[in-house]
Amino acid sequence: MKAATFEYVRATSVDEVVRTLADDEDAKILAGGQSLVPLLNMRLARPTTIIDISRIDDLSYVRRANGHLEIGALTKHRVVETSELVHRHVPLLADALRYVGHVTIRNRGTIGGSIAHADPAAELPATCVALDAQLVVQGPRGQRVIAAADFFHGYLMTALDPEEVITELRVPVLAKGTGCAVEELARRSGDFALVAVFAAVTLELDGTCREARIAVAGAGPAPVRATAAEAILRGNAVTTDVITAAANAVADATDPPSDIHGPAEYRREMAAVLSRRAIKQATNRANGGV
């Protein structure tokens, strides 16, 4: 388990990253190294150049601007998870990050790295989809902004061009009266999810659902946004029947894989079970519960 040989470049600026990517189409970016380093050591990834961006300081921040939070791509999971701004404005993100590996992993793993890696069972991509987040990326032709809904194309595949790098995650601030919940089924604490459901429910003062956001990890080759389930909730009182109908709609929207940890049918069924629990808890929290 020793990596094949590669060139190593320690980048000091985003421009240098983009230039180096353009020069070598088989280059790979190293940020926190939590996914790339095992792949290198197993020789499943064989880049010719490793661009180490971990020393670029100005890409690590969490700040509020214009109705959303801006999170630098090199911000560590643990920093976001414990950020006061995130807890206040996008609690779903903080809830979700608690399920990413273990604390030691979250101390090193970066937001940009997890999104760029695009593991469909990972928590962060699905959370970004649920929250209508945006990704700011930089390439040789400058900056562009990609909606999370358009970003994740399939298993470990994204809308990122080979010479582009993610610089920032933008997450809209959730409306007042929103409750969030994450329900994850994993074989062990800290494992990738068999299935995980990320839900945010916004209630009117009369208790009807104004807005619902539901996304699922482990549900297919990319994170799944359960729009049909959201529509079932929107405009309705969140009764047990409505929750069950919405949860079933979530399951219908999934196309999970089968593997040694669980068959597809099991995962799909669990998507309904977890959705029921998540919607119920998010609704309770929107009502001021815990």
Partner 1 sequence: MERRDFSFVALARPGAGRDKKTWEDTVVEQNAHEGLIGARVRRKEDLRLLTGRTQFVDDVQLSGMLEAAVLRSPVPHARIVSIDVSEALEHPGVYAVMTGAEVKEAVSSPQPVIWRMIPDQLIPDGYPLAVDKVRYVGQGVAAVAAKDRATAEDALELIDVEYEELPAVASLEDALAEDAPKLYEDWPSNVSGSTTIPKGDVAAAFADADVVVTESFRFARQTGAPLETRGVVATWDPYTSHLDIWLSTQSPNLARDLLGEVLGISVDKIRVRTPDVGGGFGNKFDFYGEEIVAAILSRSTGRSVKLIEDRMESFVANAHSREQKIDVELAATSDGAITGLRATVYAVLGGQLGTVGIGPCWTTAALMTGPYDIPNAELSVVGVMTNRSPYGSYRGWGQPKSNFVHERMVELLSRRIGMDAQEIRRKNFVPPDAFPYASPVFFYDSGRYADCLDLCEKSVEQAGWLERRDKARADGTAVGIGYSFHVEITAFGPSRILNMAGLQHAGFDEEVVRIDSTGHVTVYTGQSAMGQGVQTALAQVAAQSLGVALDDVTVVVGDTDTCPYTGYGTGASRAAAVGGGAVLTAATRLKEKVLRIAGQILEASPEDLVVQDGRVSVTGAPDKSISMAEIGDASYRRMNGLLPETESPTLEEREVFDPANVAFSYGCTAVLTEVDTETGEVRLLDYLIAHDCGTVINPLIVDGQLHGGAAQAIGGALYEELVYGDDGQIQTTTFMDYLIPTATEIPPFRLEHMATVADHIPGGFKGMGEGGTIGGGAAIAHSVEDALSDYGVSITSLPITPPRLLAAMRAGKDNG
Whose Cβ is closer to partner 1: residue 10's or residue 43's? Answer: 43
Whose Cβ is closer to partner 1: residue 77's or residue 267's? Answer: 267
Q: How far apart are alpha carbons 240 and 247 in whole angstroms?
A: 10
Structure-token pair, residue 191: 């494992």
Counting every residue, how long is the chain? 290
Output the smallest distance, CB 178 to partner 1, in A.
26
Instruction: Tell me 262's DSSP state.
Output: B
3 binds partner 1 (CB under 8 A): yes
Phi first, then psi: what are they for 157, rounded to 5°? -125, 140
21 binds partner 1 (CB under 8 A): no
User: Which range in 53-61, 180-188, 212-220, 248-256 contacts partner 1 by CB under 8 A?
Assistant: 180-188
DSSP-H helix ranges across the chain: 14-23, 36-41, 77-81, 84-89, 91-97, 103-106, 111-117, 123-130, 148-151, 227-233, 240-253, 264-286
3-state class (DSSP) for residue 281: helix
5 binds partner 1 (CB under 8 A): yes
44 binds partner 1 (CB under 8 A): no
User: Which range in 65-73, 158-166, 189-197, 249-257 contacts partner 1 by CB under 8 A?
Assistant: 189-197
Query: What string of DSSP letters covers 45-71?
Result: ---SEEEE-TT-GGG--EEEETTEEEE
User: Which range in 37-45, 144-152, 200-208, 244-252 contacts partner 1 by CB under 8 A?
Assistant: 37-45
Applying CB under 8 A, among 213, 262, 268, 283 the residue interacting with partner 1 is 262
Output the smallest distance, CB 164 to partner 1, in A.
28
Produce one character per residue of 95-130: b if its CB has 16 or more CB atoms within 10 Å, e if not.
Answer: bbbebbbeeeebebbbbbbbbbbbbbbbbbbbbbbb
The count of other CB atoms within 10 Å of the CB of residue 170 is: 21
Applying CB under 8 A, among 10, 64, 144, 187 the residue interacting with partner 1 is 187
Applying CB under 8 A, among 146, 161, 266, 284 the residue interacting with partner 1 is 266
User: Which range in 16-24, 201-209, 236-244, 265-273 contacts partner 1 by CB under 8 A?
Assistant: 265-273
270 binds partner 1 (CB under 8 A): yes
Applying CB under 8 A, among 33, 244, 273, 284 the residue interacting with partner 1 is 273
4 binds partner 1 (CB under 8 A): yes
Pairing of strands 68-72, 165-172: antiparallel
Output the smallest distance, CB 212 to partner 1, in A.
22
Whose Cβ is closer to partner 1: residue 228's or residue 264's? Answer: 264
Structure-token pair, residue 41: 């050591």
Binding footprint of partner 1 on the chain (CB under 8 A):
1-5, 38, 42-43, 185, 187-192, 260-263, 266, 270, 273
